[in-house]
Amino acid sequence: MTPHSLDVHHLHDVLEQQKRAYERYPVPSAKDRIDRLARLKRILVKYQDQFAEAKVYLAEAIAISQEVNHSRNLAAALGNLGGIYLKEGNFEEALKLSESDKPESLDWVFRIDFPYRLEKPAKGKLLVFATNEYQIIDETKF
């Protein structure tokens, strides 16, 4: 087996787990959604200062990565910043990151939005950050 075939096998296993989870619990109840929002609010309030500080450092990391044309570090910094925006509920800012300037030697496209956009990028390979938070995977996109 090649390392690639192991990764594909693992992804199939994860997909099967997500399918079973969705079948058990397809749509959260209003009570569950309200509870999740309350927990999210507590986390955001508790860590708001750290999020603000992290955004400053991530902006610096993005600038440095662009300056030295290091796409892997750029993708990581953009992904982390996007994650903060998502946790804050600032979806417009998170989406803007996917449209930001890309280095000339682009080798990866990193997407963090939902619904998952799995279509092939114009150039480079595709990396999609996905969670089972929504417990929805549209297999027609594969």
Mean pLDDT over 74-99 rounds to: 84
Q: What is the pLDDT of residues 8-65, one digit of tens each?
A: 788 888 888 988 888 888 888 889 889 988 988 888 889 889 988 999 999 999 899 8
What pLDDT, on a 0 to 100 scale, did the predictor assign at position 124? Answer: 74
What pLDDT, on a 0 to 100 scale, did the predictor assign at position 125? Answer: 77
Q: Which of 139, 133, 140 is nearest to 33 (CA)?
A: 133
Q: Are 58 and 81 in contact (CB under 8 A)?
A: yes
Note the pTM of the prediction, 2 decimals: 0.46
What pLDDT, on a 0 to 100 scale, did the predictor assign at position 92? Answer: 86
What pLDDT, on a 0 to 100 scale, did the predictor assign at position 31? Answer: 92
**Cα 25 to the chain's mean position, in Å?**
22
Q: How far apart are the first and last CA of the chain?
A: 22
